[in-house]
Structure 1
Amino acid sequence: MARSGTEGRGVLEGAFALMEVLAHGDEVGLTRLAADADLPKATAHRLLGQLVALGAVQSVSGRYRLGPRTFRLGQAWHPARALRAASARPLRELAAAGGGRTSVSLTLPEAGHALVVGSTRSEVDDVFALHPGVVLPPGSAAGLVLAASAPEAGPAQGWSRAAWSREAARAREQGMAFQYGQCVSALSCVAAPVFSDAGQVVAAVAATSLDGRQIALLGEAAVRTAAMVSANLSRLPAHAARPRREGVPAQGAAGRAAPHAVMARRH
C-alpha cells in the first residue's frame, strides 16, 4: 500500500525509489510505479514530472523509463577499479571454460550485501541478470564465501545461525562454496575467494549456470581463476591495489593482517 504524503519520506528518497523500480523494467505505467515505489499516486506523478524535466526519466505515451541523463551518470560508476582490472581476463577465461553457458561474476562486500561489480553474459541472464550493480540474493555462493571470512556477521536472510555456520565452515575448509537452487531455483553456482596481499578475502569469483552438473565440475576452475585474480592484484601498484572489506579493518595494531577466520587459500 502506498504511504500518505505526510509520513516524512524525503523527496530524494521518493525519487530514487521510482528510479529503482524503473531500473528493473522497460516501460512502466504510473499506477504500478507508485505502488512498487510505495508512494501515493499524486506524489509519484509530481516526482516523475521533475525527473522527466531533468532528463533522468523519459515519458512515452503515459509510460515511463530511465532517461539518458541517468545512463550517463551510471556509466561514470566505476567501483573497485583495481579488482576489475585484475579480474577481466581471468573471468573471460573461466566463462570460456564453461562453454559459453556460464555467467562468471566478481562480487564485493558492500554494506552487508554481495554486490556484483564485473560479469560476463550467458543464458543465465534470462533467469537472473548478473550485471554490475546487482545485489545477489541472500545465501548466494559468493555471499557465503565473503561471509565465511567474517564469521562475526550474522546468518543470511532465511538461514538459521547453525546452518549458516556449517556452510561457512565448509567454505573455509574447501576454499570454495557451492549452491544448488537455494537462492534462485533454476540456478546453481560455485564461488571462490580473492585475497589481498595481506591474506584478507576482498572479493569472490563465481560461476553460475542453469546446469548444476556443470557447476559441480567448475569448482577447481573457479578456485584457479580466483587465484589468478589475487596474483594479478598483487602485481598492481600499491596505490591501486588497495581493496578493503566493508567494516573489516585492513591491518592489526602491529601492521599485520587483523585476526579473522582464515579461508583455505588454494594454490
Structure 2
Amino acid sequence: MSLSTVEDRRSSLSRGLSLLELFTVNRPELSVSEMARRSGMPKSTTHRLVGDLLAAGILERGDRGVRLGLRLFELGQLAPSQRTLREIALPFAHSLNEVTGLTCNVAVRDGTEIMYVEKISMRNLRVPHSRAGGRLPLHCTALGKAILAQSEHDLIESVLSGELPRLSPQTITDPELLRRELARVRETGIAFDVEESQPGLFCVGAPILGPQSRVVGAISVTGATGVSQAQRFAPAVRASAMALSRNLGYRPRHRNSTMAHS
C-alpha cells in the first residue's frame, strides 16, 4: 500500500469523523446538503462519505435526512473505562436517586469537559445537558469541580489559565475565585453548583476515586435551586461516592481520611 493511499484513507476517516460531530441534541437529524454546508466540504465529497457511513451502520436514514446509527452506539458501549465505571456505578446511582428523589448523574472527564455516562432522572425535571453523552465545562459544574479538585496540578493550572466561559450569571469565571473554590472542594470532598451551569438548578457532587487515589469520575444529584437544599443532600452524595470508590479499589490512607489528596 502506497503512502499516498494511507494518507487518503486517514483524510477520509478524519473528514468522516468531522461529519459525525455535526450532530447535536438539538440537531439529531441532518440532510446531506446541510452537512456539506456546515462542514465546508464539497457536496459530492459529503455525499460519498455519508454513503460509506450508512453502509457501515454508523449513520442511518431518517425522515428528513440521516442520523447517528445503532452501530455507533454499539461501539461506544465497548469503551472499557466508561463501561466499567457505568456498570459499577449504576446501582449506587439508582440508590442515590431513590434516597434523595433527585436526578442522579455520573460523569467522567474528557479534556476540559465532563461527559455524562449515566443519568437516573427524577420526574418533572428537565436537565437537557445531563443526558448520557452530554458535555459541559469542568469549571461550572459540581461534577467537574469534584473531578478537577482531585486532578493533577498541571490540569488544574491549564484550566485556570484557559478560557472559563460563562454559562449563567452565577458561573465562576475568575481564576483566583475558582482556585479557592477547588481548594474548598479538596478539603471537604464535596462540590456545589448553584445555578452556575443552568439557572434554576443546583447540583451537589463528589469525586469517584480508584486505586492510588486517582480520580476516575464523579457522582451528583440535581434539583431545584436552593443552597440549603444542596447542603442537605451533601452527606448522601459523599457517602455514595465513597462506597463507589471503595468498589473501584480506592483505599483511604488513614482511617479518618477524607477523599481529598494530601
Which TM-score applies when normalising by structure 1?
Answer: 0.72
Residue 164 of structure 2, aligned match among 144, 157, 161 = 157
Question: 8 Å contact 2:194–2:225 — kept in the other structure?
Answer: no
* Bigger relative CO (Cα 8 Å, ≥ 6 apart): 1
Partner of 1:234: helix, strand, or coil? coil
Once residues 92 and 18 of structure 1 are traced to their aligned partners in structure 2, the CA distance between those partners, rounded to angstroms, is 35
Using the TM superposition, give the Cα deviation of residue 192 of structure 1 relative to its aligned residue in structure 2, in angstroms. 0.8
Q: Which segment is superposed worse, 210-219 or 190-199? A: 210-219
- Distance 1:59-1:89 versus aligned 2 partners, 3 A rule: closer
- Distance 1:91-1:138 versus aligned 2 partners, 3 A rule: same
Would you say 1:208 and 2:222 are equivalent positions? yes
- Distance 1:69-1:195 versus aligned 2 partners, 3 A rule: closer
Q: Which runs of 5+ in 2 are unaligned?
A: 1-9, 166-172
- Distance 1:123-1:12 versus aligned 2 partners, 3 A rule: farther
Question: C-alpha offsets along residues 234-265 of structure 1, whole Å, 9 cap, x if unaligned?
Answer: 39xxxxx9xxxxxxxxxxxxxxx9xxxxx943
Give % identity: 27
Using the TM superposition, give the Cα deviation of residue 124 of structure 1 relative to its aligned residue in structure 2, in angstroms. 8.0
- For 2:88, the equivalent position in structure 1 comes to 86
Residue 194 of structure 1, aligned match among 202, 208, 214 = 208
Would you say 1:33 and 2:35 are equivalent positions? yes
Partner of 1:191: helix, strand, or coil? strand
- For 1:47, the equivalent position in structure 2 comes to 49
Q: Which runs of 5+ in 1 are unaligned?
A: 1-8, 236-240, 242-256, 258-262
- Distance 1:137-1:103 versus aligned 2 partners, 3 A rule: farther
Partner of 1:183: helix, strand, or coil? coil
Question: C-alpha offsets along residues 146-191 of structure 1, whole Å, 9 cap, x if unaligned?
Answer: 1112343232623332122011112112211101222233432111
Once residues 72 and 91 of structure 2 are traced to their aligned partners in structure 1, the CA distance between those partners, rounded to angstroms, is 29
Question: 8 Å contact 1:82–1:233 — kept in the other structure?
Answer: no
Stretches (4+) displaced over 4 A: none
Would you say 1:20 and 2:21 are equivalent positions? yes
Would you say 1:265 and 2:259 are equivalent positions? yes
- For 2:111, the equivalent position in structure 1 comes to 111
- Distance 1:144-1:36 versus aligned 2 partners, 3 A rule: farther
- Distance 1:61-1:219 versus aligned 2 partners, 3 A rule: closer
Which amino acid is 1:146 matched to? I
Question: 8 Å contact 2:112–2:137 — kept in the other structure?
Answer: no
Which amino acid is 1:205 matched to? I
Which amino acid is 2:19 matched to? L
Cα RMSD (Å) = 3.1
Which amino acid is 1:157 matched to? L
Which amino acid is 2:105 matched to? S
Partner of 1:21: helix, strand, or coil? coil
- Distance 1:222-1:62 versus aligned 2 partners, 3 A rule: closer
Would you say 1:225 and 2:255 are equivalent positions? no
Once residues 12 and 125 of structure 1 are traced to their aligned partners in structure 2, the CA distance between those partners, rounded to angstroms, is 39
- Distance 1:98-1:15 versus aligned 2 partners, 3 A rule: same
Task: Considering fraction of residues, name the structure with more helix.
Answer: 2
Q: How many residues align?
A: 231
Question: C-alpha offsets along residues 58-80 of structure 1, whole Å, 9 cap, x if unaligned?
Answer: 23455111223323323433434
Question: C-alpha offsets along residues 181-219 of structure 1, whole Å, 9 cap, x if unaligned?
Answer: 222334321111223343343321111224446434211
Partner of 1:265: helix, strand, or coil? coil
- Distance 1:124-1:189 versus aligned 2 partners, 3 A rule: farther
Partner of 2:128: helix, strand, or coil? coil
Once residues 52 and 138 of structure 2 are traced to their aligned partners in structure 1, the CA distance between those partners, rounded to angstroms, is 35
- For 2:145, the equivalent position in structure 1 comes to 144
Partner of 2:45: helix, strand, or coil? helix
Question: 8 Å contact 1:124–1:208 — kept in the other structure?
Answer: no
Once residues 63 and 249 of structure 2 are traced to their aligned partners in structure 1, the CA distance between those partners, rounded to angstroms, is 52
Question: 8 Å contact 2:203–2:221 — kept in the other structure?
Answer: yes
